[in-house]
Structure 1
Amino acid sequence: MSTQQLPVVVIGAGPAGLAAAAHLAERGIDTLVLEAGTSAGAAVREWGHVRLFSTWGEVVDPAAEKLLTPTGWTRPDPATYPSGGDWAALYLQPLADALGDRVRTGARVTGVSRAGRDRIVDADRDEQPFVVHITHADGHEERVLARAVIDASGTWATPSPAGGSGLPALGERAASDRISYRVPDFNDPAVRARYAGRRTAVIGSGASAFTALAYLADLAKAADGTGTKGVWILRRGISGSTFGGGSADQLPARGALGLAAKAAVDEGHADAVTGFRTEAIERDTEGRLILVADDGRRLDPVDEVIVLTGFRPDLSFLSEIRLRLDERLEAPVELAPLIDPNQHSCGTVYPHGHRELSHPEEGVYLVGMKSYGRAPTFLALTGYEQVRSVVAAIAGDTDSADRVELTLPETGVCGGAGLFDTSVAEEDSAGGCCAPAPTLIELGAVGTLRAPTSGGC
């Protein structure tokens, strides 16, 4: 069998991975989607209680819709906002079902290499197919040959730690029973009981932190939440763009979320501490947690900590593949300058496709959230355009692959982090300005943003 007769392996049955499979199917290319979870959209289901910034009209891939339509699938109202659970149940799972046996769940990719060639060997390397190593849920292992590999595995499984240095803070692992790295589902009675009437630190400055602060404020206003208090920990300072684009954001739900977070602080449901980079997490005699900054400052004890400092790519199973990644973002080197939060924190992402996503190992592409490495500025629309271009390149349709048209909604402000987040991924360390000395501040007079009268997370 020639390499061209082999399937394209797609890693991850999330939004970008399933869209890639739909585009491959549209072009008649044999496809195998490998999903480590038990169902399509497994990662999305874990944040199913969080509402997207984008409407249904912006989170359905065109090729996927073509594949779904003959099955009797009805597209949800394009003007409404799905939750993660809606997205998974009403779109991702039906799409996986339409793809049929092209999608395998419970199949974790543990390695990718060239057949008979480790990372060092040059001889005839490009002529060899890829070998994808798989460990199935029942423990048995398998190897699959592939003509190309599209890694759409995302970053959800590897959240960034609380430590300001990028490594876990001292004591962070020991305090794991009191730390969450996801936005808690406050609709769950057990979760509400965990945070109700308690003092919770929220570390992060992006959309997830906004969501958590808004949820804590709602809990504080509820009958069962009396005494609930948030402490918002920011590694940087407060500026006019800290709360996102507000009414200037072309994604209204995203702008409203930042305003809801500001309202939570203005109304006294959370205090903000700026310029605080966590160095250690200690326990007091009552078992509560004390956050210690790298300059030695110590905060008053809290009962819980929610760490929302972004995510990072898992590159371990690609160790035998020759990748060219930016040393800071861990994103493809051609893409990194377009998304670097040290340089770009407002406006749009320039059009990009297969050329910006290429690596020295021809036929390997990182797409979706994983392509952005540690950068926070990602939208579902970005992933859909990426896979359209990549699949066209794999099919040899260079004209189509190079014809990239990507127009993203603008924020209307500069200097913020996590402004393009579709759901829950942002990097708190984004931005190049220096942070002021840690201080407890009052936010009522900061900026000109006002709490929304409608809309939500």
Structure 2
Amino acid sequence: MMSDGCCGTTTPSEAEQFTAGPETSTLPVVVIGAGPIGLAAAAHLAERGLGFLILEAGGQAGASIAKWGHVRVFSPWRYNIDPAARRLLEEAGWQAPDEDWLPTGAELVDDYLAPLAKALGDRVRLNAEVTAITRLGFDRVRTNGREDVPFLIRLQDGEELYARAIIDASGTYTSPNVLGASGLPAHGEAEVAQLIDHALPDVLGADRATYEGKHTLVVGAGHSAATTLLALAQLENTPITWAIRAGNASRTYGGGDADALPARGALGSRLHALVESGRITLLTGFYTHRVRGTGQGVEVVSRDPSGAERTIAVDRIVSATGYRPDHSIASELRLDLDPVLGSTRALAPLIDPNQHSCGTVPPHGADELAHPEPGYYAIGVKSYGRAPTFLMATGYEQARSVVAALAGDWEAARDVQLDLPETGVCSSNLAEAQEQRVGLATGISGGLLSAPLPLVTASTGGGCCG
């Protein structure tokens, strides 16, 4: 029997027209993103014998990490390698790096992600940018038979692929937050974009000439801001101003000598000393409202909630104001997003930065990451939405849980365990939590980063970088 609707004619066998094409059960799980979390998910899929395909927009595994390859991470190697990935690599003859060494981003790529991608073989496709995900023959509105048809993935070049499930580990690196303090671009931000860099320029390397001798304003209260400030301080005749919305920088200074990850504690301690000495000028209560090119640089105007304005003239700006998820590729899927954070609604209260630090986030996995669209999961830093305290160890456990769920092993999927550090950025001090509400949420794709440091051995703590 046929029924006419407002938008066309449907029949009870409509879903069968599409399932008669690709058989969903024989299709691969498609993983979007070949960063640490995406490759970890693939390693778990391989270990469980599930077919998969990894689509990476960049030209190499860990393409986003390669862009901050000059930066050393906080946690040593022992916390940065997923267990399933380690097992897969060791089967291929891989020798693990020194577990106490703090790798740079480049070392993460060269010594871990690139070998892992090689071990996964031709199931890793590079230069394959996903532009949209939907259900074959179904837009977001249509329901009957929806779960019986495969996902359709469209690539930048127009190619279309099918999948039985989607694990979106594409991260947030390509969608940085704006410079403006209220979540909107500052007035004039687009017009002076050539004078604004986002987090972690290579100040002491490839970008040195851009910054040396120039007055730079760094905006942001997180560890990527701190990393850039420490690098700038090594350049002679280079004035540095640091602007944050908070009333003080205690959250950025972190746990000092008490930090479970010494490199992270040293980062805050060194930054505090540079501010105290006057090498770095700290502006608190700074709400970027307007920027204007002057011909010699850029004028930056702060307007606080009372309407009071302050102006500073600089040569360049580093906008280390964090990142936000871009869910546009999944706009035809049925997502249940928290209206504040942009994570799943079930995950939001567990990671809310107004209530939790990364060290107090409860264990969570496939159940909390599920959407009304069966078979679609966003994991990794993208799963946290705008919450700034994602840790790589958390992402690895998400990957393990989600893959177990896709394999039908719900006992394993729900047996989620996390052991996270409670110091530094992970302090649960309520005063710091309130400070975080008005500060800028920073960090690089869930990675907590440090300026270049000598080897520091950490005996405790969770993986926090990547």
TM-score (structure 1 length as normaliser): 0.88
Q: Distance in 2 between matches of 1:422 and 1:293?
A: 22
User: What are the ranges of 5 or more consecutive residues in structure 2 without an aligned counterpart?
Assistant: 1-21, 458-464
Is 2:323–2:444's contact at 8 Å kept on the other side of the alignment?
Answer: no
Aligned match for 2:329, one of 317, 322, 347: 317
Alignment partners' CA distance in 2, 1:290 and 1:92? 41
1:432 maps to what in 2?
none
Tell whether the 8 Å contact from 1:186 to 1:215 is kept in structure 2 after alignment.
yes
Does the alignment pair 1:333 with 2:345? Answer: yes
Residue in 1 that maps onto 2:162: 145
Map of 2:85 onto structure 1: 64
Point out where structure 1 has 5 or more consecutive residues left out of the alignment: 220-224, 428-451
Query: Which aligned pairs between 1:300-379 and structure 2 lie closer than 5 A?
Result: 300-345=312-357, 347-379=359-391
Q: How far did 1:107 drift?
A: 0.3
Deviations 1:289-319 (A, max 9, x none): 1111123523231011000000011111100
Matched, 1:89 2:103: no
1:205 is aligned, of 213, 221, 226, to 221
Q: Deviations over 1:366-392 (max 9, x none)?
A: 000100111110111111000000000
Q: Which amino acid aligns with 1:409?
A: P
Matches within 5 A, 1:9-48: 9-48=30-69
The answer to whether the 8 Å contact 2:289/2:302 transfers is: yes
Alignment of 1:196 onto 2:212 = yes
Q: Any conservation in 2 of the 1:207–1:419 contact (CA below 8 Å)?
A: no
- Please tell me the residue identity of whatever aligns with 1:304: R
SS of equivalent to 1:87: helix
| Cα distance in structure 1, aligned partners of 2:456 and 2:99 | 16
Q: Aligned Cα RMSD in Å?
A: 2.2
> Taking structure 1 as reference, are residues 383 and 345 closer, same or farther at Cα in structure 2, changes over 3 Å only?
closer
Q: Distance in 1 between matches of 2:368 and 2:299?
A: 44
Instruction: Pick the aligned partner of 1:214 from 227, 230, 236.
Output: 230
Cα deviation, 1:71-127, whole Å, max 9, x if unaligned, reads: 221100111111110001110010000000110000011111111110000111111
Cα displacement (A) at 1:267:
2.2
Residue identity opposite 1:293 in structure 2: S
Percent identity, aligned pairs only, is: 51
Name the CA distance, whole Å, in 2 between partners of 1:351 and 1:420. 22
CA contact (8 A) 2:291 2:299 kept: yes
Q: CA deviation at 1:266?
A: 1.7
1:122 aligns with 2:134: no
For 2:89, what is the secondary structure of its paired residue?
helix
Q: Distance in 1 between matches of 2:390 and 2:419?
A: 13
Distance 1:425 1:308, change over 3 A: farther
- SS of residue matched to 2:273: helix
C-alpha offsets along residues 231-283 of structure 1, whole Å, 9 cap, x if unaligned? 11101111643411222221221121111221221222211111111110013
Residue of structure 2 in register with 1:407 after alignment: 419
With over 3 angstroms needed to count, the CA separation of the structure-2 counterparts of 1:31 and 1:154, relative to structure 1, is same
Instruction: Give, as a single letter, the amino acid of the residue that structure 1 aligns with 2:117.
Output: A
For each residue in 1:193-227, what CA deviation from the matched residue of structure 2 results, as whole angstroms up to 9, or x when unmatched?
211122110000000111011111122xxxxx2x2
Contact 2:358 2:389 (C-alpha < 8 Å) held by counterparts: no
Give the TM-score, by structure 2 length: 0.86
**C-alpha contact (below 8 Å) 2:203/2:228 kept by paired residues:** no
1:287 corresponds to = 296
| Residue 317 to residue 27, structure 1, CA distance change in 2 (3 Å) | same
1:241 aligns with 2:251: yes
2:245 alignment partner, SS class: coil
Residue type of the partner of 1:21? A
Letter in 2 for 1:234: I
Number of positions where the alignment pairs a residue of Structure 1 with one of Structure 2: 421
Looking at structure 2, the residues matched to 128 and 453 of structure 1 have their Cα atoms a distance apart, in angstroms, of 53
SS in 1 for 2:253: coil
Q: Which residue of 2 aligns with 1:393?
A: 405
